[in-house]
Amino acid sequence: MLKVVQIQFSSKSAGSSALRLQSGFNNSESVKSQIISLFGDGENYSGVSYLNNWSRLKAAINNKIARRIYKYDQSKYGLYSYPLIGTDISKLKIVQEADAIYIHWVQMGFFDFKSFSKLFQLKKKIFVVMHDMWFLTGGCHYAVDCVSYEDSCERCPIFPNNSKIASSQHRVKGELIANYGNNLQFITPSLWLKDLGHKSSLLKNQSIHFIPNFFSSPHFRRGNRIDARQLLSIEISKKVICFGAVNISSIYKGWKFLKEAFSYLHQYYTNDEVEVIIFGNGDLEEFEASINFKIHYLGYLENEDRISLAYRCSDVFVIPSILDNQPTTIVESMHCGVPVVGFNLCGIPEMIDHKKSGYIAEAYNSLDLADGIRYCLDHQLDVSLKEEYLPKSVLSAHLNLLN
Protein backbone atom coordinates (compact mmCIF):
# COMPACT_ATOMS: atom_id res chain seq x y z
CA MET A 1 0.00 0.00 0.00
CA LEU A 2 1.34 3.42 -0.98
CA LYS A 3 1.76 5.96 1.79
CA VAL A 4 0.81 9.51 0.80
CA VAL A 5 1.17 12.69 2.83
CA GLN A 6 -0.80 15.75 1.84
CA ILE A 7 0.27 19.17 3.08
CA GLN A 8 -2.31 21.93 3.39
CA PHE A 9 -2.48 25.31 5.17
CA SER A 10 -5.92 24.76 6.66
CA SER A 11 -8.86 22.39 6.52
CA LYS A 12 -11.16 25.32 5.71
CA SER A 13 -12.20 26.50 2.25
CA ALA A 14 -9.63 25.25 -0.33
CA GLY A 15 -8.27 22.92 2.35
CA SER A 16 -11.35 20.77 1.99
CA SER A 17 -9.98 19.52 -1.35
CA ALA A 18 -7.19 17.70 0.50
CA LEU A 19 -9.67 16.25 2.98
CA ARG A 20 -11.92 15.02 0.20
CA LEU A 21 -9.04 13.52 -1.75
CA GLN A 22 -7.92 11.80 1.44
CA SER A 23 -11.32 10.12 1.78
CA GLY A 24 -11.01 8.90 -1.81
CA PHE A 25 -7.49 7.59 -1.27
CA ASN A 26 -8.34 5.81 1.96
CA ASN A 27 -11.36 4.10 0.40
CA SER A 28 -9.28 2.82 -2.52
CA GLU A 29 -7.51 0.03 -0.58
CA SER A 30 -4.26 0.83 -2.40
CA VAL A 31 -3.33 4.20 -0.82
CA LYS A 32 -3.08 5.30 2.79
CA SER A 33 -3.24 9.09 3.06
CA GLN A 34 -2.51 11.45 5.95
CA ILE A 35 -2.64 15.24 6.07
CA ILE A 36 -0.33 17.76 7.74
CA SER A 37 -2.09 21.07 8.34
CA LEU A 38 -1.09 24.33 9.97
CA PHE A 39 -4.63 25.31 11.02
CA GLY A 40 -7.86 23.43 11.59
CA ASP A 41 -11.50 24.47 11.59
CA GLY A 42 -12.50 23.14 15.00
CA GLU A 43 -13.40 19.68 13.74
CA ASN A 44 -11.48 16.50 14.56
CA TYR A 45 -10.65 14.79 11.28
CA SER A 46 -9.17 11.31 11.20
CA GLY A 47 -5.69 11.18 9.71
CA VAL A 48 -4.98 14.92 10.05
CA SER A 49 -1.98 16.14 12.05
CA TYR A 50 -1.73 19.79 13.09
CA LEU A 51 1.50 21.65 13.66
CA ASN A 52 2.31 23.20 17.02
CA ASN A 53 1.70 26.71 18.35
CA TRP A 54 5.24 27.78 17.48
CA SER A 55 4.58 27.09 13.80
CA ARG A 56 1.35 29.08 13.95
CA LEU A 57 3.12 31.94 15.72
CA LYS A 58 5.76 32.02 12.99
CA ALA A 59 2.99 32.20 10.42
CA ALA A 60 1.43 35.15 12.23
CA ILE A 61 4.82 36.91 12.35
CA ASN A 62 5.38 36.22 8.65
CA ASN A 63 2.02 37.69 7.73
CA LYS A 64 2.49 40.77 9.92
CA ILE A 65 5.91 41.51 8.42
CA ALA A 66 4.65 40.87 4.89
CA ARG A 67 1.77 43.33 5.33
CA ARG A 68 4.23 46.02 6.37
CA ILE A 69 6.79 45.38 3.65
CA TYR A 70 4.57 44.52 0.69
CA LYS A 71 1.93 47.22 0.69
CA TYR A 72 -0.36 47.14 -2.34
CA ASP A 73 -4.00 47.50 -3.35
CA GLN A 74 -5.45 44.07 -2.58
CA SER A 75 -8.93 45.16 -3.68
CA LYS A 76 -7.47 45.65 -7.17
CA TYR A 77 -4.93 42.84 -7.44
CA GLY A 78 -6.14 40.18 -5.03
CA LEU A 79 -3.77 38.17 -2.86
CA TYR A 80 0.03 38.43 -3.13
CA SER A 81 2.32 36.16 -1.08
CA TYR A 82 6.06 36.37 -0.51
CA PRO A 83 7.08 33.78 2.11
CA LEU A 84 9.59 35.11 4.64
CA ILE A 85 9.26 32.67 7.55
CA GLY A 86 8.04 29.09 7.45
CA THR A 87 8.18 25.65 9.02
CA ASP A 88 10.39 22.77 7.93
CA ILE A 89 8.37 19.55 8.09
CA SER A 90 10.85 17.33 6.24
CA LYS A 91 11.98 15.54 9.42
CA LEU A 92 8.51 14.54 10.59
CA LYS A 93 8.10 10.77 10.76
CA ILE A 94 5.07 10.58 8.46
CA VAL A 95 6.94 12.64 5.87
CA GLN A 96 10.04 10.47 6.12
CA GLU A 97 7.95 7.31 5.69
CA ALA A 98 5.82 8.62 2.82
CA ASP A 99 6.12 7.23 -0.70
CA ALA A 100 4.63 10.37 -2.22
CA ILE A 101 3.91 13.92 -1.08
CA TYR A 102 1.11 16.21 -2.24
CA ILE A 103 1.73 19.91 -1.65
CA HIS A 104 -1.51 21.89 -1.71
CA TRP A 105 -1.96 25.54 -0.62
CA VAL A 106 0.90 26.31 1.81
CA GLN A 107 1.29 30.10 1.76
CA MET A 108 0.54 32.69 4.49
CA GLY A 109 3.44 31.63 6.70
CA PHE A 110 3.25 27.84 6.45
CA PHE A 111 6.10 27.29 3.98
CA ASP A 112 9.01 29.51 3.09
CA PHE A 113 11.45 28.61 0.32
CA LYS A 114 13.67 26.71 2.74
CA SER A 115 10.65 24.55 3.62
CA PHE A 116 10.17 23.71 -0.05
CA SER A 117 13.88 23.01 -0.53
CA LYS A 118 14.12 20.65 2.47
CA LEU A 119 11.11 18.71 1.22
CA PHE A 120 12.39 18.52 -2.35
CA GLN A 121 15.76 17.22 -1.10
CA LEU A 122 14.06 14.05 0.16
CA LYS A 123 13.85 12.94 -3.49
CA LYS A 124 10.41 11.45 -3.04
CA LYS A 125 7.59 11.64 -5.55
CA ILE A 126 6.27 15.16 -5.07
CA PHE A 127 3.06 16.44 -6.63
CA VAL A 128 2.39 20.16 -6.40
CA VAL A 129 -1.36 20.79 -6.60
CA MET A 130 -1.96 24.25 -8.03
CA HIS A 131 -5.13 25.72 -6.57
CA ASP A 132 -4.25 29.10 -8.08
CA MET A 133 -1.41 30.72 -10.08
CA TRP A 134 1.11 31.24 -7.25
CA PHE A 135 3.53 28.50 -8.35
CA LEU A 136 4.00 30.09 -11.76
CA THR A 137 4.18 33.79 -10.81
CA GLY A 138 6.35 36.17 -8.84
CA GLY A 139 3.89 36.00 -5.95
CA CYS A 140 0.39 36.93 -7.07
CA HIS A 141 -2.22 34.21 -6.71
CA TYR A 142 -4.01 35.35 -9.85
CA ALA A 143 -2.26 37.51 -12.44
CA VAL A 144 -5.50 39.26 -13.49
CA ASP A 145 -4.58 40.68 -16.93
CA CYS A 146 -0.78 40.64 -16.44
CA VAL A 147 1.38 38.21 -18.45
CA SER A 148 4.78 39.06 -16.95
CA TYR A 149 4.91 35.55 -15.45
CA GLU A 150 5.57 34.32 -18.99
CA ASP A 151 8.98 35.98 -18.64
CA SER A 152 10.49 37.08 -15.31
CA CYS A 153 7.82 39.19 -13.55
CA GLU A 154 10.02 42.27 -13.88
CA ARG A 155 7.04 44.36 -15.04
CA CYS A 156 4.83 43.59 -12.05
CA PRO A 157 1.89 46.05 -11.93
CA ILE A 158 1.39 45.37 -8.21
CA PHE A 159 4.76 46.94 -7.33
CA PRO A 160 5.49 49.43 -10.14
CA ASN A 161 8.02 51.30 -7.98
CA ASN A 162 9.93 48.20 -6.93
CA SER A 163 9.88 45.57 -9.65
CA LYS A 164 12.51 43.49 -7.82
CA ILE A 165 9.94 42.28 -5.27
CA ALA A 166 8.17 40.04 -7.74
CA SER A 167 11.17 39.29 -9.96
CA SER A 168 13.30 38.17 -6.99
CA GLN A 169 10.65 35.65 -5.89
CA HIS A 170 10.27 34.50 -9.48
CA ARG A 171 14.03 33.91 -9.63
CA VAL A 172 14.07 31.90 -6.37
CA LYS A 173 11.26 29.69 -7.64
CA GLY A 174 13.19 29.19 -10.86
CA GLU A 175 16.27 28.09 -8.93
CA LEU A 176 14.23 25.58 -6.92
CA ILE A 177 12.72 24.09 -10.06
CA ALA A 178 16.11 24.00 -11.78
CA ASN A 179 17.61 22.10 -8.82
CA TYR A 180 14.74 19.73 -8.05
CA GLY A 181 12.46 19.79 -11.09
CA ASN A 182 13.15 16.15 -11.89
CA ASN A 183 11.41 15.15 -8.65
CA LEU A 184 8.41 17.42 -9.20
CA GLN A 185 5.15 16.98 -11.04
CA PHE A 186 2.34 19.50 -11.05
CA ILE A 187 -1.40 18.90 -10.88
CA THR A 188 -4.02 21.45 -11.88
CA PRO A 189 -7.80 21.00 -11.62
CA SER A 190 -8.43 23.05 -14.77
CA LEU A 191 -7.16 22.92 -18.34
CA TRP A 192 -7.09 26.72 -18.21
CA LEU A 193 -4.39 26.72 -15.52
CA LYS A 194 -2.51 23.88 -17.20
CA ASP A 195 -2.30 26.02 -20.34
CA LEU A 196 -1.05 29.02 -18.35
CA GLY A 197 1.55 26.78 -16.70
CA HIS A 198 2.95 25.71 -20.05
CA LYS A 199 3.10 29.37 -21.12
CA SER A 200 4.97 30.40 -17.98
CA SER A 201 8.76 30.59 -17.90
CA LEU A 202 8.81 28.64 -14.60
CA LEU A 203 6.76 25.59 -15.54
CA LYS A 204 6.92 25.42 -19.33
CA ASN A 205 9.25 22.40 -19.21
CA GLN A 206 7.57 20.67 -16.24
CA SER A 207 5.04 17.83 -16.21
CA ILE A 208 1.59 19.31 -15.59
CA HIS A 209 -1.39 16.98 -15.20
CA PHE A 210 -5.04 17.97 -15.45
CA ILE A 211 -6.98 16.27 -12.66
CA PRO A 212 -10.14 17.94 -11.26
CA ASN A 213 -10.53 18.24 -7.51
CA PHE A 214 -11.96 15.10 -5.91
CA PHE A 215 -15.52 15.64 -4.73
CA SER A 216 -17.73 13.03 -3.13
CA SER A 217 -20.26 13.96 -0.48
CA PRO A 218 -23.56 12.36 0.58
CA HIS A 219 -24.94 15.83 1.36
CA PHE A 220 -24.96 17.18 -2.20
CA ARG A 221 -27.65 15.30 -4.06
CA ARG A 222 -30.93 15.85 -5.83
CA GLY A 223 -33.81 16.21 -3.42
CA ASN A 224 -37.42 17.25 -3.01
CA ARG A 225 -37.64 20.96 -3.91
CA ILE A 226 -40.97 21.44 -2.15
CA ASP A 227 -39.57 20.15 1.16
CA ALA A 228 -36.40 22.23 0.76
CA ARG A 229 -38.33 25.43 0.10
CA GLN A 230 -40.61 24.88 3.07
CA LEU A 231 -37.54 25.00 5.31
CA LEU A 232 -36.64 28.46 3.98
CA SER A 233 -40.26 29.63 3.64
CA ILE A 234 -40.06 29.98 -0.15
CA GLU A 235 -43.16 29.38 -2.27
CA ILE A 236 -42.84 26.62 -4.84
CA SER A 237 -44.10 28.96 -7.58
CA LYS A 238 -41.15 31.38 -7.18
CA LYS A 239 -38.17 31.50 -9.51
CA VAL A 240 -35.13 31.23 -7.22
CA ILE A 241 -31.63 32.48 -8.11
CA CYS A 242 -28.72 31.39 -5.92
CA PHE A 243 -25.28 32.94 -5.52
CA GLY A 244 -22.56 32.07 -3.01
CA ALA A 245 -18.85 32.33 -2.26
CA VAL A 246 -16.62 32.19 0.81
CA ASN A 247 -15.84 35.91 0.38
CA ILE A 248 -18.39 37.54 -1.89
CA SER A 249 -16.61 40.92 -1.98
CA SER A 250 -13.35 39.39 -3.29
CA ILE A 251 -12.07 40.90 -6.53
CA TYR A 252 -12.13 37.38 -7.97
CA LYS A 253 -15.86 36.74 -7.45
CA GLY A 254 -17.32 39.34 -9.83
CA TRP A 255 -20.07 40.67 -7.57
CA LYS A 256 -20.30 43.93 -9.56
CA PHE A 257 -21.27 42.00 -12.71
CA LEU A 258 -24.03 40.15 -10.87
CA LYS A 259 -25.37 43.46 -9.52
CA GLU A 260 -25.63 44.74 -13.07
CA ALA A 261 -27.27 41.49 -14.19
CA PHE A 262 -29.96 41.88 -11.52
CA SER A 263 -30.75 45.36 -12.80
CA TYR A 264 -31.41 43.85 -16.25
CA LEU A 265 -33.56 41.06 -14.79
CA HIS A 266 -36.02 43.62 -13.41
CA GLN A 267 -37.09 44.27 -17.01
CA TYR A 268 -38.38 40.71 -17.27
CA TYR A 269 -39.52 39.63 -13.80
CA THR A 270 -41.58 41.32 -11.12
CA ASN A 271 -40.57 41.41 -7.48
CA ASP A 272 -43.25 38.82 -6.77
CA GLU A 273 -41.84 36.31 -9.29
CA VAL A 274 -38.20 36.04 -8.18
CA GLU A 275 -36.38 35.45 -4.91
CA VAL A 276 -32.63 35.34 -4.32
CA ILE A 277 -30.60 33.08 -2.02
CA ILE A 278 -27.12 34.31 -1.04
CA PHE A 279 -24.58 32.50 1.14
CA GLY A 280 -21.05 33.45 2.14
CA ASN A 281 -19.28 36.35 3.81
CA GLY A 282 -20.82 39.58 2.58
CA ASP A 283 -22.64 42.81 3.39
CA LEU A 284 -26.43 42.39 3.67
CA GLU A 285 -26.98 46.15 3.34
CA GLU A 286 -25.03 46.10 0.07
CA PHE A 287 -27.13 43.18 -1.20
CA GLU A 288 -30.41 44.88 -0.27
CA ALA A 289 -29.30 48.13 -1.93
CA SER A 290 -28.36 46.29 -5.13
CA ILE A 291 -31.15 43.72 -5.47
CA ASN A 292 -34.83 44.65 -5.42
CA PHE A 293 -35.99 41.03 -5.31
CA LYS A 294 -36.60 39.38 -1.94
CA ILE A 295 -33.31 38.13 -0.47
CA HIS A 296 -32.64 35.13 1.76
CA TYR A 297 -29.17 35.88 3.11
CA LEU A 298 -27.85 32.77 4.85
CA GLY A 299 -24.41 34.12 5.80
CA TYR A 300 -21.29 31.96 5.83
CA LEU A 301 -22.25 28.29 5.82
CA GLU A 302 -19.89 25.57 7.05
CA ASN A 303 -22.51 22.84 7.31
CA GLU A 304 -22.81 20.93 4.04
CA ASP A 305 -26.47 20.10 4.70
CA ARG A 306 -27.24 23.83 4.85
CA ILE A 307 -25.27 24.56 1.68
CA SER A 308 -26.99 21.74 -0.22
CA LEU A 309 -30.35 23.01 1.05
CA ALA A 310 -29.64 26.37 -0.60
CA TYR A 311 -28.96 24.63 -3.92
CA ARG A 312 -32.01 22.37 -3.74
CA CYS A 313 -34.24 25.41 -3.21
CA SER A 314 -32.85 27.04 -6.35
CA ASP A 315 -33.70 27.04 -10.03
CA VAL A 316 -30.27 28.34 -11.06
CA PHE A 317 -26.88 28.98 -9.47
CA VAL A 318 -24.86 31.97 -10.73
CA ILE A 319 -21.08 32.20 -10.52
CA PRO A 320 -19.97 35.60 -11.89
CA SER A 321 -16.31 34.97 -11.00
CA ILE A 322 -13.68 36.58 -13.21
CA LEU A 323 -10.78 34.60 -11.73
CA ASP A 324 -11.45 31.05 -10.56
CA ASN A 325 -9.57 27.82 -11.13
CA GLN A 326 -12.09 24.99 -10.67
CA PRO A 327 -14.97 26.32 -8.55
CA THR A 328 -16.33 23.76 -6.10
CA THR A 329 -19.68 25.54 -6.09
CA ILE A 330 -20.28 24.42 -9.69
CA VAL A 331 -19.72 20.78 -8.75
CA GLU A 332 -21.90 21.13 -5.65
CA SER A 333 -24.72 22.77 -7.60
CA MET A 334 -24.72 20.19 -10.38
CA HIS A 335 -24.68 17.33 -7.86
CA CYS A 336 -27.96 18.82 -6.64
CA GLY A 337 -29.32 18.98 -10.20
CA VAL A 338 -29.19 22.79 -10.43
CA PRO A 339 -27.92 24.46 -13.65
CA VAL A 340 -25.05 26.94 -13.45
CA VAL A 341 -24.48 30.27 -15.21
CA GLY A 342 -20.95 31.64 -15.43
CA PHE A 343 -18.60 33.65 -17.61
CA ASN A 344 -16.42 32.19 -20.35
CA LEU A 345 -13.38 32.69 -18.13
CA CYS A 346 -10.74 30.51 -16.44
CA GLY A 347 -11.84 26.96 -15.60
CA ILE A 348 -15.57 27.74 -15.54
CA PRO A 349 -16.56 26.97 -19.18
CA GLU A 350 -14.78 23.61 -18.99
CA MET A 351 -17.36 22.46 -16.44
CA ILE A 352 -20.59 23.60 -18.11
CA ASP A 353 -22.35 22.18 -21.18
CA HIS A 354 -23.79 25.33 -22.73
CA LYS A 355 -27.60 25.34 -22.66
CA LYS A 356 -27.56 21.75 -21.36
CA SER A 357 -26.24 21.89 -17.80
CA GLY A 358 -26.16 25.68 -17.65
CA TYR A 359 -25.16 28.73 -19.64
CA ILE A 360 -21.71 30.12 -20.55
CA ALA A 361 -21.96 33.91 -20.77
CA GLU A 362 -19.64 36.19 -22.70
CA ALA A 363 -16.75 37.28 -20.48
CA TYR A 364 -17.45 40.42 -18.41
CA ASN A 365 -20.85 40.86 -20.11
CA SER A 366 -23.48 41.46 -17.41
CA LEU A 367 -26.30 41.54 -19.96
CA ASP A 368 -25.37 38.09 -21.26
CA LEU A 369 -25.05 36.89 -17.66
CA ALA A 370 -28.64 38.05 -17.14
CA ASP A 371 -29.69 36.33 -20.37
CA GLY A 372 -28.10 33.12 -19.08
CA ILE A 373 -30.05 33.37 -15.83
CA ARG A 374 -33.26 33.91 -17.83
CA TYR A 375 -32.48 30.95 -20.05
CA CYS A 376 -32.04 28.61 -17.08
CA LEU A 377 -35.14 29.96 -15.33
CA ASP A 378 -37.30 29.56 -18.44
CA HIS A 379 -36.03 26.15 -19.63
CA GLN A 380 -35.95 22.72 -18.04
CA LEU A 381 -32.33 21.58 -18.30
CA ASP A 382 -30.97 18.08 -17.80
CA VAL A 383 -28.09 18.81 -15.43
CA SER A 384 -25.24 16.34 -15.07
CA LEU A 385 -21.52 16.49 -14.35
CA LYS A 386 -19.03 15.75 -17.09
CA GLU A 387 -17.33 12.37 -16.78
CA GLU A 388 -13.92 13.75 -15.80
CA TYR A 389 -15.37 15.42 -12.67
CA LEU A 390 -16.95 12.26 -11.29
CA PRO A 391 -15.23 10.85 -8.16
CA LYS A 392 -14.28 7.55 -9.77
CA SER A 393 -12.62 9.33 -12.73
CA VAL A 394 -10.67 11.72 -10.49
CA LEU A 395 -9.48 8.97 -8.15
CA SER A 396 -8.46 6.77 -11.09
CA ALA A 397 -6.36 9.62 -12.50
CA HIS A 398 -4.54 10.06 -9.18
CA LEU A 399 -3.90 6.33 -8.78
CA ASN A 400 -2.52 6.12 -12.30
CA LEU A 401 -0.22 9.02 -11.55
CA LEU A 402 1.02 7.51 -8.29
CA ASN A 403 1.71 4.17 -9.94
**DSSP secondary structure string for all residues of 265-297:** HTTT--TTTEEEEEEEE--HHHHHHH--SEEEE
- The whole-model pTM stands at 0.93
In a shared domain, residues 112 and 73: yes
Kindly tell me the sign of the dihedral angle through the C-alpha atoms of 128, 133, 137, 141: negative
Alpha-carbon span 143 to 202, nearest angstrom: 14
In a shared domain, residues 21 and 170: yes
In a shared domain, residues 188 and 334: no
In a shared domain, residues 243 and 170: no
Alpha carbon 187 to its chain centroid, in Å, reads: 14
In a shared domain, residues 151 and 239: no
Check: CB of residue 152 under 8 Å from CB of residue 171: yes
Range of the domain at 13: 2-210
- Measured from the Cβ of residue 55, the count of other Cβ atoms closer than 10 Å reads 18
Tell me if 220 is assigned to some domain.
no
Alpha-carbon span 235 to 127, nearest angstrom: 48
Please say which residue of 210, 238, 264 terminates a domain.
210
In a shared domain, residues 277 and 201: no
331, pLDDT greater than 80: yes
In a shared domain, residues 135 and 260: no
Average pLDDT taken over every residue of the chain:
93
Tell me if 190 is assigned to some domain.
yes
In a shared domain, residues 140 and 266: no
236, pLDDT greater than 70: yes
What CATH number corresponds to the domain at position 373? Answer: 3.40.50.2000
Q: Assign 14 a pLDDT band (cuts: 50, 70, 90).
A: low
pLDDT tens per residue, range 70-94 = 999 888 899 999 999 999 999 999 9
What amino acid is encoded at 213 in this protein?
N
Tell me if 238 is assigned to some domain.
yes
Phi, psi (degrees; rounded to nearest 5) at 101: -125, 130
- Residue 102 is given by DSSP the state E
In a shared domain, residues 179 and 52: yes
What average pLDDT does range 318-347 have in this prediction?
95
Q: Assign 257 a pLDDT band (cuts: 50, 70, 90).
A: very high
In a shared domain, residues 193 and 257: no
pLDDT of residue 247: 79
Check: CB of residue 385 under 8 Å from CB of residue 331: yes
Alpha-carbon span 195 to 221, nearest angstrom: 32
Strand partners, 125: 100
Tell me if 92 is assigned to some domain.
yes
Tell me if 160 is assigned to some domain.
yes
Q: Assign 251 a pLDDT band (cuts: 50, 70, 90).
A: confident
pLDDT tens per residue, range 19-45 = 999 999 999 989 999 999 998 877 778
- Measured from the Cβ of residue 400, the count of other Cβ atoms closer than 10 Å reads 10
249, pLDDT greater than 80: no
pLDDT tens per residue, range 341-364 = 999 999 999 999 999 999 999 999
Alpha-carbon span 60 to 204, nearest angstrom: 33
What CATH number corresponds to the domain at position 122? Answer: 3.40.50
In a shared domain, residues 142 and 25: yes
Check: CB of residue 207 under 8 Å from CB of residue 286: no
Tell me if 391 is assigned to some domain.
no
Alpha-carbon span 127 to 31, nearest angstrom: 15
What average pLDDT does range 227-254 have in this prediction?
90
Q: Assign 215 a pLDDT band (cuts: 50, 70, 90).
A: very high
pLDDT of residue 29: 86
- With CA atoms as reference, report the closest residue to 374 among 297, 289, 262: 262
In a shared domain, residues 230 and 191: no
Please say which residue of 160, 184, 210 terminates a domain.
210
**Structural domain count, the chain:** 2
